[in-house]
Amino acid sequence: MRVNECESMQGAGGDPWSSAWERAARGPVAVVDCREEIPCNPCEEACARGAIKVGEDICASPRFDPGLCDGCGRCVTLCPGMAVFLLDRSHGKGVARVTVPYEMGGELLEGGEAWAMDEDGNALGTAEIVKVKRTGGRTGTLLVTVEVPEGWALKVRGVRDRLISLEAPEETDAEQRERDYHLCRCEEINVSDVRGQAGWFNSLRALRRYSRAGLGYCQGRFCQDLLRRELAQTLHAGEGEVGAFKVRPPVRPVKLGRLGGEDA
């Protein structure tokens, strides 16, 4: 059972999720959201109190008893599918604390902010980071605890560093926004190189001879259209006015001996 409004979890007896919701009012408790029937049981092995059971059928969905859980978080750390999180509603005031595994880049610090993410990777909103715990040495999984409104408590499945940036970029002019890139990959000639030289020539063939753009292995098969468009824009001319150059075989250098029939 997965509901949109956390309040409706209260009083719904018998369901592990509603039992976990009620148990979370006393402190951290695991919530197991495993939906894949695959051979996997690290959560069962992680729980010293026997709160999680998979049984002999290793492909079965884990069964969870919130009443046996002490909120240690080992199952959260060891679940390879990141399908377990901790829920803590003991602080009241309409907020809940959710602990999730974090293995992404970026530095998360206690007292900072992170994006709280749902199961589809969408941002629910910003959340305060109240605790960061590293497990398994320097390269281990981080357990990140964030404080969120109770209405998000069962929706949070992960966090993301705000600096990685779901935030809107600052406005820049068009020249700054455009990334430099290779116009001619064979000769590794960038668009900025061509723009710096294009104003000196009035034909594509002249630009080619000077810059070597189009003289690589492909002989302009891939870059000629881009070069023509760039030169025409620089000269404020039509693409047909700047001409074209011939694409000559072979595409790759071939020894004269091979052309003469010698055994390679």
Q: What is the pLDDT of residues 64-122, one digit of tens each?
A: 888 888 888 888 888 888 888 999 999 888 899 999 988 776 678 888 888 888 888 88
What backbone torsions phi and psi does residue 262 show, to the nearest 5 degrees? -70, 150
Q: Which of 63-67, 104-108, 139-143, 239-243 holds the top average pLDDT?
A: 63-67
- What lies within 8 Å, CB to CB, of 70 at 6+ separation is 49
Question: Distance between CA 219 and CA 228 in Å, rounded?
Answer: 14
Question: Distance between CA 165 and CA 115 in Å, rounded?
Answer: 9
Which pLDDT score, from 0 to 100, does residue 249 have?
62
Q: How many angstroms separate the Cα of 44 from the Cα of each of 41, 56, 58, 60, 134?
A: 5, 11, 10, 12, 21
> What tokens appear for 235 in the block?
């000269």
Question: In whole angstroms, what separates CA 176 from the centre of its chain?
Answer: 25
Residue showing tokens 């209260």: 10
> What tokens appear for 27 in the block?
């402190």
CA nearest to 159, candidates 218, 106, 225? 106
- What lies within 8 Å, CB to CB, of 51 at 6+ separation is 30, 64, 65, 66, 67, 68, 69
**pLDDT exceeds cutoff 70 at 180:** no
**Domains detected in the chain:** 6-163 (no CATH), 175-242 (1.10.10)
Pick the more confident residue, 149 or 182: 149
Residue type, 39: P
Report yes or no: 202 and 208 within 8 Å, Cβ to Cβ.
Answer: no
- What lies within 8 Å, CB to CB, of 117 at 6+ separation is 123, 124, 156, 157, 158, 159, 160
> What tokens appear for 171 in the block?
């406005």
Q: How confident is the model at residue 62 (pLDDT cuts 50, 70, 90)?
A: confident
pLDDT, mean of residues 209-216: 77
Report yes or no: 55 and 72 within 8 Å, Cβ to Cβ.
Answer: no
Which pLDDT score, from 0 to 100, does residue 166 have?
45
